[in-house]
Amino acid sequence: MSDASTGQKFENPVTVTIDGRAIVAEKGDMLLQVALDNGIEIPHYCYHPKLSIDGSCRMCQVKTGAPKLAIACNTPVVDGMEVDTQSEDVAKARRGVMELLLINHPLDCPICDQAGECYLQDYSYGYGREEARTASPRRKGLKRHPIGPRVVFDQERCILCRRCVRFTNEISKTDELAVFGAGDHSHIGTAPGAPLDNAYSVNTADICPVGALLSSDFHHKRRVWFLEETQSVCPSCSKGCNVKLGMFKNEIQRLVPRRNDDVNETWMCDHGRLNYAFAQDETRARDAVVRGEAANGSSPVVSTDDALKEASAKIRATIDAHGANAVGILGSGALTNEEQYHLAALARDAVGTSNLDVIVPTGEADGFLIQAEKVANARGAREMGVSPGESGKDVAGMLAAAAAGEIKLLYVIGSNALAEAVEADALQAAMDNVDTLIVQDTNVGPWADKATIVLPGQVWAEKDGTFTNHQGRVQRVRRAMSPTEGSYCDGGLFTRLGALLGGKDPAGARFDARATLAEISEKVSGYEGMSFERLGSLGVVLGEAAPASAPAETEEGSAPAEPA
């Protein structure tokens, strides 16, 4: 984000006048960005704040006092510059660019996924002609071409802004896309045998200003104007890329990245973008289950309250017979900080075991966005105290102890993540030897099917709370989906289980994320001053929320604007 919108001081301030408005900017910043930062709209296609300047579309031309119009995206501001973005010759230039772009543009808007968030559509309202002046038929091109496994390409709609080419060149550094041909024959393409296939490929669909590159996953799925967007964080690794969840009728339709210069700039990886089906498909665990003698009749499905009672009875019986350390609790890195806090309290105070750890499936990291820890909140979990207590055991230790018969009861939050994180043999040996397996998970799976008690959890999109990413940035997750009627979030399960173990009425043990965060901000070091309001849309780094070190942004009263 440029200096102007964060209210910071400029090193070399210059004053430019745009449409009669005096604006202070950093010397050498590009005029287009300065205008955008100050809320002045200059139509543009090829300029993208995170890519190099191309200057190919000519849409951003403005009058700067030079004899000819200048492209704002590649004109550095200098002191005393007078800019006119509204004069008749500027409008005429824009109309000219639009007419040329539309000569060969198909009338595809009704079947084009970009419609509703298309630059070309938007600017057509302002600068398009109603009728074409050319008689020749529109040029034909590839339609619905799978240019890569996750991206569809429509050549007719391309306006050759080269944003996608620059992306594969500068950001993903994979160079799949290039402009082939010259002049009127120019077109975007890939080399034979080298499709657009990299870990970040769908970002090209986001930055394509028209509907030429589209996400195959979202293709013809839903009109964008029907989506309700909720600001959230990607749950698929500890980077915590900022995203928007596009919802329709309580279902996630797509994830798109949201700009946060300190985390993901304006990108996200394909895996994270496409990893949301688990939140709503038929594998979701919706019912609480109690198996074995305690089950009533043939159906093991019980109410969550009954399953919680049964769980607390089993835990109590295990503590009484073998001591608290015969209970092992394997926490999930997918839960919010607030829930982790209650999990730690449950293990420490209500159960009294020191065998507590967070399950962290790991994988490849790539040095850009993708992190090795494949859950969003492993760091938060550890900081909230979900880690082995004194002489307590970690995940591997607990499994070994269970296999050796020392741990009699395993309480696994996230059995599928556990299966991913540890060796199958070690897991099998542990499961064979425990007396009681309690599984709390969002999705069913082989271990949930075998568990004595299953407690249905909720996915991140159903919760309000915070995640702490690998850099220690605390970020807000917001509820986008309504959870199943009558279900409890994982935090609610912990508070109720804690109440039951303490002999209290579970109905009084409601989980309140906001109040929990207030408590965390008092008790956990680094989290001082954290609150949902303080985190805002971009999050705050640990230790920086306290009022003493607080915001430079209050100076001009401007919180960082939410960039497009």
Q: Which is nearer to another protein, 219 or 523 (by Cβ)?
A: 219
List, in sequence order, the alpha helices (H) in 443-554. Answer: 446-450, 490-501, 513-523, 532-535
Residues 436-465 that bind ligand FES (CB under 6 A): none
| Using rule CB under 6 A, residue 56 touches ligand SF4 | no
How many CB atoms are closer than 10 A to CB 225?
A: 8
- Binding residue for ligand SF4, selected from 40, 188, 269, 285, defined by CB under 6 A: 188
Binding residues among 348-367 for ligand SF4 as defined by CB under 6 A: none
Does residue number 403 form part of the binding site for ligand FES (CB under 6 A)? Answer: no
Nearer to another protein, 109 or 365 (CB): 109
Q: Of ligand FES, another protein, ligand SF4, none, which one sits near residue 57, judging by CB under 5 to 8 A according to partner kind?
A: ligand FES
Between 204 and 436, CB nearer to ligand FES: 204
d(Cα 333, Cα 378) in Å, to the nearest integer? Answer: 4
CB of 202 to another protein, least distance (A): 18
CA distance 490 to 330: 13
Q: Rule CB under 8 A: say whether 223 interacts with another protein.
A: yes
- Residue 359 binding target from ligand SF4, ligand FES, another protein, none, CB below 5 to 8 Å by type: none
Residue 317 CA, distance from chain mean position:
42
Contact (CB, 8 A) for 527 and 338: no
Residue closer to ligand FES, measured from CB, 70 or 301: 70
**Does 47 sit near ligand FES (CB under 6 A)?**
yes
Question: Residue 216: CB partners within 8 Å, gap ≥ 6?
Answer: 146, 149, 150, 151, 152
CB 361 within 8 A of CB 420: yes
Residues 135-174 that bind another protein (CB under 8 A): 143-144
| Residue 532 to residue 519: CA distance in whole angstroms | 13
Rg value, the chain, Cα: 28
- Residue type present at position 429: A
Among 18, 23, 30, 59, binds ligand FES (CB under 6 A): 59
Q: What is the DSSP string of 338-359?
A: HHHHHHHHIIIIII--S-EEEE
353: which 2 tokens?
């075991």
Distance of alpha carbon 377 from alpha carbon 368, whole angstroms: 18
Residue 157's binding partner out of another protein, ligand FES, ligand SF4, none, with CB under 5 to 8 Å set by partner kind? ligand SF4
Residue 153 bridge partners (DSSP): 145, 213
Separation of alpha carbons 76 and 169, rounded Å:
24
CB of 109 to ligand SF4, least distance (A): 3
Which partner in another protein, ligand SF4, ligand FES, none is near 144 (CB below 5 to 8 A by kind)?
A: another protein
Selected binder of another protein within 67, 110, 137, 508 (CB under 8 A): 110
Question: How near is the Cβ of 198 to ligand FES at its closest, in Å?
Answer: 25
3-class DSSP state for residue 44? coil
With binding defined as CB under 6 A, does residue 73 bind ligand FES?
yes
The one among 4, 51, 60, 513 contacting ligand FES by CB under 6 A: 60
Q: How many residues bind ligand SF4 (CB under 6 A)?
A: 25
Measured from the CB atom, the residue of 139 and 221 that comes closer to another protein is 221
Task: Say if residues 310 and 290 touch (Cβ distance below 8 Å).
Answer: yes
Residues 6+ apart with CB under 8 A from 138: 103, 104, 105, 106, 156
Q: Is position 226 an interface residue for another protein (rule: CB under 8 A)?
A: yes
Task: Give the binding range for ligand FES (CB under 6 A) out of 49-57, 419-427, 467-475, 537-545.
Answer: 49-57
Does residue 208 belong to the site contacting ligand SF4 (CB under 6 A)? yes
What's the rounded Cα separation, in Å, for the pair 437 and 431? 8
Map the footprint of ligand SF4 across residues 76-135, applying CB under 6 A.
105, 108-110, 112, 114-115, 118, 120-121
Is 171 a binder of ligand SF4 (CB under 6 A)?
no
Pick from 4, 23, 36, 46: which binds ligand FES (CB under 6 A)? 46
Nearest to 430 by CA among 455, 460, 399: 399
Q: Kindly state the smallest distance separating residue 41's Cβ from ligand SF4, in Å.
A: 18
The yes or no reply on residue 125 touching another protein (CB under 8 A) is no
Strand arrangement of the beta sheet that strand 213-215 belongs to: 145-148, 151-153, 213-215
Q: Are 384 and 411 in contact (CB under 8 A)?
A: no
Judged by beta carbon, residue 105 or residue 382, the one nearer ligand SF4 is 105
What stretch of H or E contains 222? none
Give the residue with the Cβ less far from ligand SF4, 115 or 400. Answer: 115
163 token code pair: 């944003």
Q: Per this entry, what is the length of the chain?
A: 564
Shortest distance (Å) from residue 148 CB to ligand SF4: 12
Tokens of 418: 């556990």
CA gap 520, 7 in Å, rounded:
30
User: Residue from 53, 115, 179, 559 that binds another protein (CB under 8 A)?
Assistant: 115
Is residue 193 part of the contact set for another protein (CB under 8 A)? Answer: no
Euclidean distance between CA atoms 519 and 204, whole angstroms: 42
For position 59 contacting ligand SF4 by CB under 6 A, the verdict is no
- The sign of the dihedral angle between the CA atoms of 519, 521, 522, 525 is positive
Nearer to another protein, 211 or 457 (CB): 211
The answer to whether the CB of 356 falls within 8 A of the CB of 331 is: yes
| Distance of closest approach, residue 100 Cβ to ligand FES, in angstroms | 13
Q: How far is the CB of 55 from ligand FES (least distance, A)?
A: 4
Q: Which residues contact ligand SF4 by CB under 6 A?
A: 105, 108-110, 112, 114-115, 118, 120-121, 157-164, 188, 208-213
Q: Which residues contact another protein by CB under 8 A?
A: 109-111, 115, 130, 143-144, 219-223, 225-226
Q: Which residues contact ligand FES by CB under 6 A?
A: 44-47, 55-60, 71, 73
